[in-house]
Each structure stands twice: as structure tokens, then as C-alpha cells.
Amino acid sequence: MILKSILVSSLEKVFPDEEPRAFDGRVEGLKNEIASFQIAWKMEGEPNGRDYFNLHIESPVSAFVRVRRVRFVPVLFPTMPGADDNYLRKTPGLYPDPITDEMDARYPAFSDHYESAWLDVECPEEIPAGEYPISIILEPLDGSEKTTLTAHYTRFDASLPEQTLIHTKWFHYDGLCDRYETEMFSDKWWEILENYITVFAKRTMNCLLTPIHTPPLDTAVGGERRTCQLIDITKTESGYEFGFEKFEKFIRLATECGVKYFEMAHLFTQWGAAHAPKIVAKVNGEEKKIFGWETEATGEDYKAFLKEYLTALVRKIDEMGIREKCIFHISDEPNRDVLDNYMNARLAVKDYLKGFPIVDALSDLELFKSGAVEKPVPSNNHIKPFLNENIPDLWTYYCIGQFKDVANTFIAMPGQRTRILGLQMFKYDIKGFLQWGFNFYNSQFSTHPVNPFLSNDGDGFSPAGDCFQVYPGDKGMPIESVRMMHMQEAVDDMRALEMLSSLIGKEEAVRLIEENIEPIEFDVYPKSASYLLETRKKINRAIMNNLK
């Protein structure tokens, strides 16, 4: 077997029917970050050929090189009508996305398409700085000549500062039940949850949606999602009693996994704050729904409940010493048409949430100016007016609607379009980033579950990749995606720039990343992978030069 093999940067997406762009194989990073790259290969010879080879690593740091295979998934909905041209493709087909650990070192090679592997270099702190060769050896099982590719990993004698960005991608707990056929809060469910949150936190997501009650998100009006309520509620003759055993267990587990912040489930329904979320309680010994779509958001019964509920919750938060880590939401994505509803909902709870940040996604500056939303989260395609207001600690988000000109995480987008967000957030002092789907494995409005390996668009709901960052793997383990690794690189870039800024000042750091280009905005930025790869090298060298 004759193999054609290519070193490929982490930002490339290797399609089966297209030769990928090669790069020089030089990767680098600070001591506490991951350096990633890829290799692609194809068998040369007769049509429809297939054979196997073993892949192994020879390097002084070989013990710290993780090799995973990049898999293809069918993409039927790459983007929205009216999208710009900064996409890899806009047609249905097989796209690279899941990254799987292999059972052994044997890999297939085909003559009619490319395959690829993802390599992470992640060394412990004690490995000294320096340059390390990494040889990737492809050894055909038929005894043919081996192929060797050599990358070079430069490890700098400095460490990234602690992440300052509050980063959340909403966690959908019913997806674990549906995909792994387990009951909510069963022992198996808690084990799977730990696996998922461990990956969540490792990949820079440090703020976790906390289901104090079933989050009223992505639910059809009048419909329900599977109950996921951490706080046990009992209705009594005089009011309510609350049990926090599951809540405490959840907070402990997430903290041990690396989560730093907790955002409580929205207190009112999505897109209008017109109703109460689904809340269940024991009534005369029987569990039943006590609030939901039939409940007016600011009706007297729900307001009376909120007084007891939030008072008890805040007391528990203070007992646990996590007040500074907690965030609250009123309702997701309010607009002018529902301003009165939103204002009334906020007034109903503000006295019980004093001192807590109340954060909600919205993209209408006038809503913010009206005083309705304390901490707005505008989308990255509507953020400019908010930036002009110099709002402190501003967040941003993207979802289905951010398909034109701005960064996002759709499968069909180039890797650099996802990664550029790190530079943008640094320049504009973004405090938090929100995206709605870490693991949403449902259709639109959650009318039914979907198989994410076959439907990565929520059964035609949103462009492929919008709904989730991880795939449900075997044995309760999530399978990471290429897109999630690009977002990790984005946040690491932001941290590196914050370090550089502490050494030379913010103005000089921005000048470095904007050298010979137009000023970076959320919809104006260099489109090439080479810009990001070379800029990160410039950042690294500037850090080292100014540490001396």
C-alpha cells in the first residue's frame, strides 16, 4: 500500500473528497494549554482500494500526545438562506465533525477519499520548555514501506492566566435520559452527568445551567419537556417546603468537575415571560404539576410561590457560600412586544434577588435603555450599538440567527470563523459568552428526540452544529467535536492576549493583532486560517520577549 499523507493545521476541516491544505507542522503553546494539529491520508492506487495501517507516535513527549480519529456526519442543512460566502460548503454532504478515541492503533485507508486524525499535545506542567519533534509513523499492515510525518512542538516557559470569561453553553439534561435510556436522577444518570460536565469544564465552559426547576427553554407553547427539577417541593396547608439534597449534590459535583458559575433556570417562559415554567410538587403525597403554561406569570399564586421559593433558594445559596458564583435569568430573548410582561416579571422577583446579576439574551438596545434588562446579552450581529454605550461587563451570544458575517459554530463554517471570536472578545472586553446548545438532542420545540449522528440540525430546525457541541458516545461518554476544539482555541487565544495585555498594555496588544489589517469588529475580521495561526505565534513571542 502506498499512502499519501499530509500534516494539516487544527483549523482545517478535512472533507472526504477534497485534498486538504497542508501546513508546516509547527505547533506551539504555553505550558498549560493544548496544542492541536491534524494528519490526513489517502491510499494511492486502484479505484475503490482499501487497506489498513498502524499509527504510532515517536517523540520525547509521546506519552502526552492524544490521537483521535475525525469522523464524518451527514449534513443536510449547512446554513440559512441569505448566508455570506465564508463557508466551506453550502451543499448537503458528508462533513468532518466528531472526534473519536479509537479502540486500537489500526486505521483504514481508502483510495477514493481522505480520512484524518486529530492530535492534541497536552503536557503536564513539569515538562520543560523547548522544542520537541513529534513523528507520526504510518505503518501499512501489508508490509509496505512506512510513512513518517514530523511535526515540531514548541513549548514556552510561561502559563496562561486563569480564564476570566464566563462561558456557558446550555446543558439539556433530558438528552442524557433519552440517549442513554435512563431515568432522571438515577445513579446511572448522575454518572453520565459527571462524564459530560467533566468535558464541559475542560473545554472552557465554566458556567452551568442549573435546573432548579425544568428550564423553560425550546418548548412548544402548551408542551412539556421531561421533568428535571433539582429542588424538591411539597405543598402544605400554609405554603411550601423545599428540599435541597439534589441541588447540593449537583453543585458539589459540578464544582469538582471544574465549573465556576451557576446560572439558575429561567423563572418565566421563553420569548415573552407570559407564563410560569413547569414546576412539580408533592400535593397530599402525590407528585403533580402545580405551575406551567396555564399559570399567568404574575398571577397571585405564582408570585406567592416565588416569594417562598426564591427566599429559600437564596438562603441555601448563602449557606453553601456560592452567592458570588450564581446568575439568574427572567426570560430568554424578550422583545419590545413583550416589554410589559418582562418588566412585570422582573418586578415580581427583584426584591428576592438583590445582589445577584440578572442576565438575559436580547438584541434590542431600546429594551436595555428602558431599564427592563439589567445585564443584556446581545447577539454578536447586534452588539455594535451596545458597545457604543460602553456597558460594563458586557456578554454576547450567537445561535441560529447569526449565520451572516459573524462568528458561529456551524459545521459548514471554516475553523477560523469559530476561533476568531477569541480575539474579538478580547478587544471589546467581553465578560461572558452564551450559546444555547451544549447537548440539545431534540427537534424544534422539543416535540421529539433526534439521533444527533443522523440529524445535527434538530430535525431541520437550525443549521448543522447549532444544536450541540458533543455527540452521545458509548458508556455514557460524550464525543467531542472539531468545532468545540476550535472554541477552546478561541478562549485560549483570549487568555494569551490578556496575559500580553498585562505586560505591554491593552492598546499595544490590540495593535499587535491588528497589524496590517482593518480594525477587528464582530463582522469585520481576516478570513484566513493563516492570519490566526501566525497571529497566535506573534502573541506567544511578544509574551516571552516581555517576560525577560
Per-residue pLDDT reduced to its tens digit, 80-132: 999 999 999 999 999 999 999 988 889 999 999 999 999 999 999 999 999 99
Q: What is the mean pLDDT of residues 44-64?
A: 95
3-state secondary structure of 101: coil
Give the separation between CA 505 and CA 496, rounded to whole angstroms: 13
Per-residue pLDDT reduced to its tens digit, 458-467: 999 999 999 9
Quote the pLDDT of residue 548.
Answer: 73
How far is the CA of 324 from the CAs of 177, 261, 321, 356, 431, in angstroms?
A: 31, 8, 8, 8, 15
* Contact criterion met (CB below 8 Å) for 484 and 453: no
Distance of CA 412 to the CA centre of its chain: 16
Return the higher-pLDDT residue of 523 and 49.
523
What the block records as the C-alpha cell of 495 is 487568555
What the block records as the C-alpha cell of 25 is 507542522
For the chain, percent of residues with pLDDT exceeding 90: 95
Give the separation between CA 444 and CA 455, rounded to whole angstroms: 12
* Contact criterion met (CB below 8 Å) for 388 and 423: no
Bridge partners (DSSP) listed for residue 93: 75
Per-residue pLDDT reduced to its tens digit, 314-369: 999 999 999 999 999 999 999 888 999 999 999 999 999 999 999 999 989 998 99
Which class for 466: exposed (0-12), middle (13-18), buried (19 or more C-beta within 10 A)? buried
What the block records as the C-alpha cell of 83 is 448566508
Quote the pLDDT of residue 45.
Answer: 84
Bridge partners (DSSP) listed for residue 478: 472
| Number of neighbours of residue 506 by Cβ within 10 angstroms | 15
Q: What is the mean pLDDT of residues 221-246?
A: 98
Quote the pLDDT of residue 46.
Answer: 80
One-letter amino acid of 171:
F
pLDDT for residue 395 is more than 90: yes
Per-residue pLDDT reduced to its tens digit, 136-158: 999 999 999 999 999 999 999 99
For the full predicted model, state whether its pTM sits above 0.95: yes
One-letter amino acid of 30:
L
> Any idea which residue has 463582522 for its cell?
523
How far is the CA of 425 from the CAs of 78, 209, 379, 506, in angstroms?
A: 26, 22, 13, 13
Quote the pLDDT of residue 54.
Answer: 97
- Report which DSSP code applies to 330: S
pLDDT for residue 49 is more than 80: yes
* Interior angle at CA 343, CA 340 and CA 348, nearest 5: 125
Phi, psi of 309 (to 5 degrees): -60, -55
Per-residue pLDDT reduced to its tens digit, 419-464: 999 999 999 999 999 999 999 999 999 999 999 999 999 999 999 9
* Contact criterion met (CB below 8 Å) for 265 and 291: no
3-state secondary structure of 121: strand
* Contact criterion met (CB below 8 Å) for 8 and 134: no
Give the separation between CA 37 and CA 151, rounded to whole angstroms: 9
| Number of neighbours of residue 420 by Cβ within 10 angstroms | 24
Q: Which helix (H) or strand (E) holds 43?
A: strand 35-44
pLDDT for residue 198 is more than 90: yes
Return the higher-pLDDT residue of 470 and 2.
470
Dihedral of alpha carbons 195, 198, 201, 206, sign? positive
Which class for 282: exposed (0-12), middle (13-18), buried (19 or more C-beta within 10 A)? middle
* Contact criterion met (CB below 8 Å) for 226 and 289: no
Which residue, 543, 544, 520, is CA-closest to 531? 520
User: How do strand 50-58 and strand 130-140 relate by DSSP bridges?
Assistant: antiparallel
One-letter amino acid of 207:
C
pLDDT for residue 472 is more than 80: yes
Give the separation between CA 276 and CA 522, rounded to whole angstroms: 35
Second-level CATH architecture of 2-158: Sandwich (2.60)
Quote the pLDDT of residue 543.
Answer: 99
Quote the pLDDT of residue 105.
Answer: 86
3-state secondary structure of 453: coil
